[in-house]
Every structure is written in structure tokens, then in C-alpha cells.
Amino acid sequence: MIFGPFKLVLRIISLVLSVIVLYFAVTFVQIWLTGHHHSSAKAQAILVFGTTEDNGVPSPELKARLNHALHLFREQRAPWVVVTGGNRPGDNFTEAGVSATYLEQHGVPAADILNGFGDDTWQNVSTALPTMKAHHVVSVLTVTDPFHEYRAMAISSSQGLRPLPSPVPNSPTIKHSLWKYYLKETFDVGVGRIVGYGRLSSWTTGAPKVYHKL
């Protein structure tokens, strides 16, 4: 009898752990499937999520996202391109500014480019949202790496947008340890859905920054 309560506690712990494992396993599958789905629909804007730049030059990962956005724009899938991403300490350029310059150099009129900034995915969307609302943009083709597509769409949707998946088909990240990216995304999505993506962003990035386009 003395072991009865102890066994009950072990069963409860086992059940809780099983539920947690199942939850994150389902989350991983959702992330994987979304990253391999490409919408063929048109939208009001192409939303490009920022990633690193190198002293004014897009990194290979950012260049892949921008080239995919260029393809969509030239296919007339949307009339606007929204660029996002801030800068790290010591950087002279923002990811959004570098992205806008690259797009202009490749034929996208400056008037067709809308700007956001931000240190993470939540801020990428929230900083671009006022400009998108001013142009009545609601539906967006979300352009990012496949492993990031689910979270990018979830955050876009939570802020009132109607996202459509358009993951980069040839991102250089596929040559690296993808399991690390998928593991991080599974954790971020799993936690973000519970506590809220906005709250998770405030925990990881701190107070909002003021950005200047360069």
C-alpha cells in the first residue's frame, strides 16, 4: 500500500511526458508539411522575412529569399513586396534596407516596395503591419526558409494577415544541419502557441528598438 501513491505519481508524470512528446511531435510534422507546400494563389503582397546581411550585401540565405520574391513578383503574383529585418549591434545596414536595394537593382520599382524592420519574426510582421494596412494589404505570400514557414505564417495570421505559403525552394540552409533548425522551430512554435508569439518575442528580444533604413 505504501507504494500506491508513488506509482500514481509515476503514472501521472509518465502521462504528462507522453502528452508533451506527442504535442511537439505533431508540431514538428506541421512544420515539415507546411515547409513543403507552395501556394499557387495570388496575394496582395509578397512578405519577405529578413535574415543576415554582410555590410550591405545579402547573405546567401537572404539572397535566396529575395530571388524567390523576385520570381513571384515577375510572375505577377502580387503587386507589392514587403521587406523586413533590422540590424545587429555594429551593423551599418538593416536587412530590410539591403533587401530593398537588392530588389530595386533587379527591377522592382521602389514605389512597389514596403518596409518593415524587427529583430525577430514577430517584429518583422508588426513593424510592417502599419504600412501594409495603409495600402489595404491583408493577404500575403510568406517568403522564408521551409523550416521557418509555419511560424512565419502563424505569426502573420495572429496579427490579422491572411498568409499563403511560399517557402524558398533552394535555400542554402538545406546544406547545413537542418535538424537544428527544425528542432528550434519545433520548440519556438510549441511554446509560442501556448504563451503567445508576441509574449515570446518580448521575452527573447526585450524592449522594441528604433530602426533607420539604410
Domains of the chain by start residue, with CATH:
38-205 (3.40.50.620)
The mean pLDDT value for 185-205 works out to: 95
Q: 184 is written with which cell numbers?
A: 528550434
pLDDT tier for residue 103 given thresholds of 50, 70 and 90:
very high
Four-residue CA torsion sign, 173, 174, 176, 177? positive
Q: Does residue 210 surpass a pLDDT of 50?
A: no
Considering only residues 61 and 9, tell me which one the structure prediction assigns the higher pLDDT. Answer: 61
